[in-house]
C-alpha cells in the first residue's frame, strides 16, 4: 500500500491529520489530504503531502479529490461535540452529500478500498437511557432511533456504503467511532468534545485562580473515550480486513462525566467547585462500546487507558493556551 495513492477526506481535521501523519510514518509516499478549511486552519500540515482545499458536498470536487486514488478514508463531516450536534442538525445531515458523492466518485474511479467513519450516535436512544448502560452491540442500531440529525446521517451513510458494496462491488468498510480524543484537535469554540472541553476548563480554572468548573448535565451521564492512537490502529485494520458490517471502534472503559473531571483534576493537581448546567446539551444518559466483535475479528480492542491519553491531551491543550496568552 505504500506506493498506492491514498486519499484522506477530512485530512485537515483532528482524526484526519493524525491519520496522514501515521501513514507517512509507515512509509506511504503518495498521499492526498482534502479538507474544506483553508490550509492555514488545518490541525496538521505536511509539505510532502498533496493538500487540496475542496468542498466535498459537491460531486465535481469529489471527482477531483479521488482522481487516481486506490484507497480512500472518508473522515469528512460537519460535526463537533454535543453543543454543536444538538444545535446544528440540518448542517450535520448535509454531510450525507459528502459520503454519497464520494461513493459515486470512488465507484467511477475504480477505488480498491473505501473506509467510512461512522459514529456511536447511530445507536437506538432507548438503549442509552440509563447511566449504568449495557455496552452497545452492533445490532443495537436497529430498530433505528439514532441521535437526531447527526446520527441519522451516519446511519443512512452506513447503508449507502453497504449497498455500494453489494450492488456495485465497491470494497467498503465502516467503523462506528466512540468519542475519539487526543492532541491536535478542537479544544474551544463550541465544536470540542468532552475530554478537550474539560481539559480547557480545568486549565482555565487553574490559571485564573478561580477554582470553579461548570459541567453540562448532572455529571452522572456515562461514556467511553478512545485515544487517537487506538483509533488509527483500528481504522487501518478494519479497512484491511474482511469485516463487512459496521463495527464498533471504541474503548470499553466506562466513566461518568464527573469521573472524567476527577481524572483531569488529578492531572492538573487542583480540586474545583462544581456547578451543573442542567439546560446545556448533554446527549444520552449512557453509552459504551461492546467490543465482542472486534476482539473476534482482530484479536484486539482499544486499550489505552483514559488517564494516560488525557495526560497527553491535557499537556497539548495547556501548551496551546499558553501560546494564545503570549499573542
Give the single-character DSSP code of 135.
P
Spatial separation of the C-alpha atoms in residues 71 and 57, rounded to whole Å: 19
- Quick one: which H or E segment has residue 204? helix 194-208
User: Phi, psi at residue 8, to the nearest 5°?
Assistant: -110, 110
* Residue 206 dihedral angles phi and psi, to the nearest 5°: -70, -45
Cβ-contact 77, 10 below 8 angstroms: yes
| Cα separation, 160 vs 97, whole angstroms | 11
Cell of 210: 478561580
The separation between CA 283 and the C-alpha centre of its own chain, rounded to angstroms, equals 16
Spatial separation of the C-alpha atoms in residues 113 and 106, rounded to whole Å: 9
Picking from 19, 155, 152, the residue whose alpha carbon sits closest to that of residue 75 is 19
- Give the containing element (helix H, strand E) for 22: helix 14-25
Q: Go through 236-260 and write b for each residue having 16 or more CB atoms within 10 A of its CB, e for each that does not.
A: bbbbeeebeebbbbbbbbbbbbbeb
CA distance linking residue 226 with residue 251, whole number of Å: 5
DSSP letter, residue 32: E
**Strand 212-216 relative to strand 273-277, pairing:** parallel
Sign of the torsion formed by the C-alpha atoms of 311, 317, 322 and 323: positive
Active site residue: 150, 177, 181, 314, which one?
A: 150
- For this structure, is 142 an active site residue? no
Can you tell me the distance from the alpha carbon of 222 to that of 128, in angstroms, rounded to the nearest whole number?
Answer: 10
* Active centre residues (catalytic): 150
Amino acid at each position: 500500500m505504500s506506493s498506492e495513492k491514498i486519499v484522506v477526506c477530512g485530512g485537515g481535521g483532528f482524526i484526519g491529520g493524525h491519520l496522514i501523519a501515521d501513514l507517512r510514518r509507515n512509509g506511504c509516499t503518495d498521499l492526498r489530504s482534502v479538507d474544506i478549511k483553508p490550509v492555514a486552519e488545518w490541525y496538521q500540515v505536511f509539505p510532502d503531502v498533496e493538500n487540496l482545499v475542496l468542498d466535498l458536498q459537491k460531486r465535481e470536487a469529489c471527482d477531483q479529490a479521488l482522481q487516481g486514488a486506490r484507497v480512500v478514508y472518508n473522515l469528512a463531516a460537519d460535526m463537533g461535540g454535543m453543543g454543536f450536534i444538538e444545535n446544528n442538525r440540518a448542517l450535520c445531515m448535509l454531510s450525507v452529500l459528502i459520503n454519497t458523492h464520494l461513493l459515486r466518485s470512488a465507484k467511477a474511479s475504480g477505488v480498491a478500498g473505501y473506509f467510512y467513519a461512522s459514529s456511536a450516535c447511530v445507536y437506538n436512544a432507548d438503549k442509552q437511557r440509563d447511566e449504568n448502560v449495557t455496552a452497545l452491540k452492533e445490532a443495537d442500531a436497529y430498530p433505528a432511533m439514532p441521535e437526531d440529525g447527526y446520527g441519522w446521517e451516519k446511519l443512512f451513510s452506513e447503508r449507502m456504503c453497504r449497498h455500494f458494496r453489494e450492488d456495485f462491488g465497491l470494497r467498503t468498510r465502516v467503523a462506528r467511532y466512540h468519542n475519539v480524543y487526543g492532541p491536535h484537535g478542537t479544544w474551544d469554540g463550541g465544536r470540542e468534545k468532552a475530554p478537550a472541553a474539560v481539559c480547557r476548563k480545568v486549565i482555565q480554572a487553574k490559571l485564573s485562580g478561580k477554582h470553579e468548573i461548570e459541567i453540562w448535565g448532572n455529571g452522572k451521564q456515562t461514556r467511553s473515550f478512545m485515544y487517537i492512537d487506538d483509533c488509527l490502529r483500528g481504522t487501518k485494520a478494519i479497512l484491511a480486513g474482511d469485516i463487512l458490517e459496521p463495527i464498533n471502534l471504541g474503548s470499553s472503559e466506562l466513566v461518568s462525566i464527573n469521573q472524567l473531571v476527577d481524572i483531569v483534576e488529578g492531572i492538573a493537581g487542583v480540586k474545583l467547585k462544581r456547578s451543573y448546567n442542567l439546560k446545556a446539551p448533554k446527549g444520552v444518559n449512557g453509552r459504551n462500546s461492546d467490543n465482542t466483535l472486534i476482539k473476534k475479528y482482530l484479536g484486539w480492542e482499544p486499550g489505552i487507558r483514559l488517564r494516560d491519553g488525557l495526560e497527553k491531551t491535557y499537556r497539548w491543550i495547556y501548551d496551546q493556551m499558553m501560546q494564545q496568552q503570549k499573542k
